[in-house]
Structure 1
Amino acid sequence: MTSKKKTPDQLRSARWFAPDDLRSFGHRSRIMQMGYAATEWTGKPLIAIVNTWSDINPCHAHFKHRVEDVKRGVLQAGGLPIELPAISVSESFVKPTTMLYRNMLAMETEELIRSHPVDGVVLMGGCDKSTPGLMMGATSAGLPMIYLPAGPMLRGNWKGKILGSGSDAWKFWDERRAGNISNQEWNDIEAGIARSYGTCMTMGTAATMMAITESIGMTLPGASSIPAADAGHIRMSSECGRRIVDMVWEDLTPQKIQTRKAYENSIAVAMAMGCSTNAIIHLIAMARRAGQDISLEDFEIASRKVPVIANIRPSGEEYLMEDFFYAGGLPALMTRIRDHLHLDVVTVSGQTLGENIAHAQVHNDDVIRSTETAIYAEGALAVLKGNLAPDGCVIKPSACEPRFLKHSGPALVFDDYPSMKKATDDENLDVTADHVLILRNAGPLGGPGMPEWGMLPIPKKLVKQGVRDMVRLSDARMSGTSYGACILHVAPESYIGGPLALVQNGDIISLDVDKRTITLDVSDAELAKRKAAWKQPEVRYERGYGWMFSKHIKQADQGCDFDFLETDFGAPVREPDIF
């Protein structure tokens, strides 16, 4: 039995239903209109279930059913579930990029919670931007909340080979471009690479962000690792429904969980998992909504200390998230980096992180390595700085060819995606494997929305020569399932006149991952001359949400949140003035 800190009359929903006045009469009569008897809401917590299901989001296809499991749990615990649908931000289909709409989901989530008579929230997400969007909005709203991850899909299969979504798509696409795979084989790969509902089963952005949310303490233990198609996911769904009711009575709010220590834990876990590069942007935005000033420097500190021990593609060679689950999942991984974690932080379970993982075990030492047998000695990500990226840029050294960790080469510059695509398909392109391919005007404002264009295709000419990696540089992002020597998130972006806007074909660019430097070998005087002649590209949006986005989006190193959503964390939720 939970220890109650609240009484029924202190429930937030009681403001709508308890008073003996005309407005509460209206609230009561309208809820009765839907068939609810007074005994179903009187003195009970009302629980919002923010559900990002849609008919065109394969990652969340099971949510139509899982929401019923969450409701069952809420009812079992003595609450009343209220489903509130939210924008689905389907990574596979939304254009130009779901990143354009992450903040829209955050705003919608915050306002759904604030404007309705609810006492606690279950968040249902998993597809890349849904996790940070839901977390940002609910954190700002400040009510007790718990996150239910969608879970990864099952392993892909083709001719008895295990396929990983995203990573193997890129891999076999290059083989097809090289003429090594037939059209029929390509069609068979299409049919076999995504065999069930759920998120990408590689260590992409979805798996990364679900794990990060667990490591912050916002999911029940082990929730982020359960495959979407596993019966355990159904049981976890109902358990989330039961637990959130107790959290309301305990008044266990995000403010009490999302401490700086909790976010430091999440960064350490991200590094150990071989996380997506997108983790940096989303974690910074989530943390700042929680009043924690997390920056690129925090990632750099963790990167030097925490090795990659999850042998999962794309950093690893063989395994996928289903294997990770069988090997013990995230709780097991955390036992192996416990020296880098704050074990005393509280979580949504009501217990500390240390208590959550006390009995976790690793069942496969090749899937979840020890720190002594790590697949990469440092963390998954590295932050580079220099005159080309004064505010930083990001590379995933664990997923690129080692020879590119220190490299110099001439720039080959593209100002937009269509011209880049056309050129890289031209077998007469004047390019070598030592070139640094550059795509600019693809950042938060330039994209717009910072699309996942950062894994620039290897020119077809080189693919046919057997080249499978080369240095690529942009102010864009890339899919978390991507790999290669891709330098991303260059800040400030080229669209607003950052140094990337001034690069010319043939300029020498040098990077040194060990020293964390990226340098454009052009004099300051020449750069000043180029800056004076530079003109900003055309406006991307002139109306609607896109216009608002363009006016208020922050740069990549600051998490790409809206400037007007930076508020003091922990302030009381502003209630509607009129009831």
Structure 2
Amino acid sequence: MTAFKPADWPRKLRSTEWFGSTSRDHIYHRSWMKNQGLPADLFDGRPVVGICNTWSQLTPCNAHLRDLAERVRHGIYEAGGLPVEFPVFSTGESALRPSAMMYRNLAAMDVEEALRANPLDGVVLLAGCDKTTPALLMGAASVDIPAILVSGGPMLNGWFRGERVGSGTALWRMSEDIKAGKMTQEEFLEAESAMSRSPGSCNTMGTASTMASMAEALGMALSGNAAIPAVDSRRRVMAHLSGRRIVDMVKDDLKPSDILTMQAFENAIRANGAIGGSTNAVIHLLAIAGRVGLDLSLVDWDRLGRDVPTIVNLMPSGEYLMEEFFYAGGLPVVMKMLGEGGLLNRDSITVSGGPIWDEVKDARNWNEEVIRPVERALTQQGGIAVLRGNLAPDGAVLKPSAASEHLLTHRGRAVVFEDIDDYKARIEDEDLDIDETCVMVMRNCGPRGYPGMPEVGNMGLPPKVLRKGITDMVRISDARMSGTAYGTVVLHVSPEAARGGPLAVVRTGDMISLDVPGRSITLEVDEAELAARLEAWKTPVEAPSGGYARLFHDHVQGADTGADFDFLKGCRGAPVPRDSH
């Protein structure tokens, strides 16, 4: 950190176009800002740094971000910048309908245009809940001004009757236990209060913690950011230091395009395999890469992650939670282990201004049960398995570390649900013709189909199967799955059913073969029959009449390319808008 000295500033700042002269227009801009009680010398040419805040009481994971924003503000002031906080659309996973994913692109558009249209030289991105992290990174990447991300951090461990309760993961498990007769409704309600006992996002390796880890692995957050619990004082320190750091990033003109290289995405993909990260990371990293013009694909996900062992022993793949991950050393330990195994691009630049290896090379593992040595990995082939075949010509994904090994190669009879409503209406019917050998298939839940691609892919099993003691079956859909969920679940089937992909014409009784080691998924219907079915298919999804829902329907791309809008791909930069006064 260096104290601000106007004479030493190396280049003209973007904000100078708003505040840096004595014309009528410049006075107009400054005078309105001064009604907040800002001294005149704050407009002496120092950098104006935005604090982009996704705080919202409707987004519980982010409801504590106001405090972190104040810590960021202190750091910016200390380093000689002028901090200005502003809100953007907050995508809360727990409340938004039809799905938070439907509004990720809206939030990204909000961020992008707020950064482009305002007198900002740099920005600190405050994120927490699942979609807020990728949305903020997507928007910042499209504008390409200096940016650093600060996560809100995970909740503290939940405990119920002496056992760890992982947010989300416990919910899925306990709801199945009720259907199986292993747990009462009263016990379920008692456990509810243990699931979310402090501010913060999910304490499992769900999507929120995964994306915080991805931001750190990409180099867009300071080392150590991902795992600090929300209520730990060190989370405030991280926010403070990030506020300091962004000012020097502005001085050095260190932008997202300098950090978000293909090598950085390779690091993130491998880190995702090592931590047992959420399948949602696939969609989000593809979308972020698209914003900086990189041709990242599902092929890269399978190529880079296939041989990465899952070494982080966290729910839903393992037994611990984010609190223990932090105490064990957090993501820097994982990145160091990847580097020692030849799986890290050590020279990738981070927001620190230096190579990632310099940030992690001295990290120490304080708990080898939580971050395991490679020889004791949860699975030697973690990562994300990308499957292809006549059922998923453009790909589908599966998380091996959350799946049952005996189901990774499976052949079974399809039981088809037209959508999530059909599934809910029929799954508990004792007359449903289904057993544990079947393959549950759900469609019309993709980006366009639902719309918004909800986290419903981890369909709960039928009660009559659960009562046998069966806890997993093969499930296939064009939907997503919560990062807190588990099971042998094939997701993101592309093209989705609503676009006329082969998933749209699967019939109950068809045989489906899954071969995860061979990376294939096959509908056992001959080519002529499949072609005839597709020829006769008509979409059951009507285009919305207007509003954002219509924009989403018309422009959202497939899951295999990140489900971004077609017109948002690429970096549009941050020109100075023409003055209208």
For Structure 1 versus Structure 2, the TM-score category normalised by the shorter chain is: over 0.9
Aligned to 1:444: 447
Aligned to 1:153: 155
Q: What are the residue-to-residue correspondences of 1:42-121 with 2, within 5 Å?
A: 42-121=44-123
Given that 2:61 and 2:129 are in contact with CA atoms closer than 8 Å, whether structure 1 keeps it comes out as yes
Aligned to 1:416: 419
Given that 1:391 and 1:557 are in contact with CA atoms closer than 8 Å, whether structure 2 keeps it comes out as yes
Compute the displacement of 1:351 (Å).
1.8
Compute the displacement of 1:58 (Å).
1.5
- Letter of the 1:335 counterpart: K
Aligned to 2:492: 489
Deviations 1:287-345 (A, max 9, x none): 111222110011111232211111111111x1111111000000011111111001111
- Letter of the 1:378 counterpart: Q
**Distance in structure 2 (CA, Å) of the matches to 1:234 and 1:207:** 17
Task: Decide which of 387, 391, 403 is 2:390's aligned counterpart.
Answer: 387
Compute the displacement of 1:538 (Å).
3.2
- Letter of the 1:337 counterpart: L
Local SS of the residue matching 1:100: helix
Aligned to 2:578: 577
- Letter of the 1:210 counterpart: A
Aligned to 2:247: 245
**Distance in structure 1 (CA, Å) of the matches to 2:230 and 2:544:** 37
1:376 equivalenced with 2:379 (yes/no): yes
1:454 equivalenced with 2:468 (yes/no): no
**Distance in structure 2 (CA, Å) of the matches to 1:42 and 1:403:** 67
Local SS of the residue matching 1:427: coil
Local SS of the residue matching 1:451: coil
Local SS of the residue matching 2:493: coil
**Distance in structure 2 (CA, Å) of the matches to 1:427 and 1:166:** 27
**Distance in structure 2 (CA, Å) of the matches to 1:539 and 1:236:** 47
**Distance in structure 2 (CA, Å) of the matches to 1:398 and 1:82:** 43
* Runs of 5+ unmatched residues, structure 1: none
**Distance in structure 2 (CA, Å) of the matches to 1:463 and 1:429:** 14
**Distance in structure 1 (CA, Å) of the matches to 2:250 and 2:484:** 37
Compute the displacement of 1:8 (Å).
7.1
Alpha carbon RMSD of aligned pairs, Å? Answer: 1.4
Task: Decide which of 357, 360, 365 is 2:363's aligned counterpart.
Answer: 360
Q: TM-score, normalised by structure 2?
A: 0.97
Cα 1:224–1:504 shift into 2, 3 Å? same
1:136 equivalenced with 2:138 (yes/no): yes
**Distance in structure 1 (CA, Å) of the matches to 2:50 and 2:542:** 39
**Distance in structure 2 (CA, Å) of the matches to 1:78 and 1:205:** 35
Q: What are the residue-to-residue correspondences of 1:171-250 with 2, within 5 Å?
A: 171-250=173-252
Deviations 1:359-387 (A, max 9, x none): 11101111111222211011231000000
Aligned to 2:323: 322
Name whichever of 552-561 and 180-189 sits farther off: 180-189
Aligned to 2:27: 25
* Runs of 5+ unmatched residues, structure 2: none
- Letter of the 2:419 counterpart: D
**Distance in structure 1 (CA, Å) of the matches to 2:92 and 2:490:** 25
Aligned to 1:542: 545
Given that 1:50 and 1:84 are in contact with CA atoms closer than 8 Å, whether structure 2 keeps it comes out as yes
**Distance in structure 2 (CA, Å) of the matches to 1:536 and 1:55:** 38
Say how many residue pairs are matched.
Answer: 576
1:264 equivalenced with 2:275 (yes/no): no
**Distance in structure 2 (CA, Å) of the matches to 1:207 and 1:321:** 8
Local SS of the residue matching 2:83: strand
Name whichever of 182-191 and 383-392 sits farther off: 182-191
Aligned to 2:275: 273
**Distance in structure 2 (CA, Å) of the matches to 1:162 and 1:33:** 50
Aligned to 2:401: 398
Q: What are the residue-to-residue correspondences of 1:280-319 with 2, within 5 Å?
A: 280-316=282-318, 318-319=319-320
**Distance in structure 2 (CA, Å) of the matches to 1:476 and 1:172:** 22
Deviations 1:416-435 (A, max 9, x none): 21111121111221111011
**Distance in structure 1 (CA, Å) of the matches to 2:300 and 2:10:** 42
Given that 2:14 and 2:576 are in contact with CA atoms closer than 8 Å, whether structure 1 keeps it comes out as no
**Distance in structure 1 (CA, Å) of the matches to 2:455 and 2:449:** 13
**Distance in structure 2 (CA, Å) of the matches to 1:9 and 1:276:** 41
**Distance in structure 1 (CA, Å) of the matches to 2:219 and 2:345:** 11
**Distance in structure 2 (CA, Å) of the matches to 1:462 and 1:294:** 40
Aligned to 1:463: 466
**Distance in structure 2 (CA, Å) of the matches to 1:254 and 1:6:** 24
Deviations 1:64-114 (A, max 9, x none): 211111111111111111111011111100111000000001100011111
**Distance in structure 1 (CA, Å) of the matches to 2:314 and 2:11:** 49
Cα 1:381–1:9 shift into 2, 3 Å? closer
**Distance in structure 2 (CA, Å) of the matches to 1:424 and 1:359:** 52
Name whichever of 85-94 and 365-374 sits farther off: 365-374
Local SS of the residue matching 1:345: coil
**Distance in structure 1 (CA, Å) of the matches to 2:185 and 2:302:** 44
Given that 2:2 and 2:79 are in contact with CA atoms closer than 8 Å, whether structure 1 keeps it comes out as no
Cα 1:11–1:311 shift into 2, 3 Å? same
1:349 equivalenced with 2:352 (yes/no): yes
- Letter of the 2:322 counterpart: M
Name whichever of 174-183 and 280-289 sits farther off: 174-183
- Letter of the 2:217 counterpart: S
**Distance in structure 2 (CA, Å) of the matches to 1:180 and 1:385:** 37
**Distance in structure 1 (CA, Å) of the matches to 2:264 and 2:541:** 42
Deviations 1:112-135 (A, max 9, x none): 111111110000002100000000
**Distance in structure 2 (CA, Å) of the matches to 1:2 and 1:306:** 40
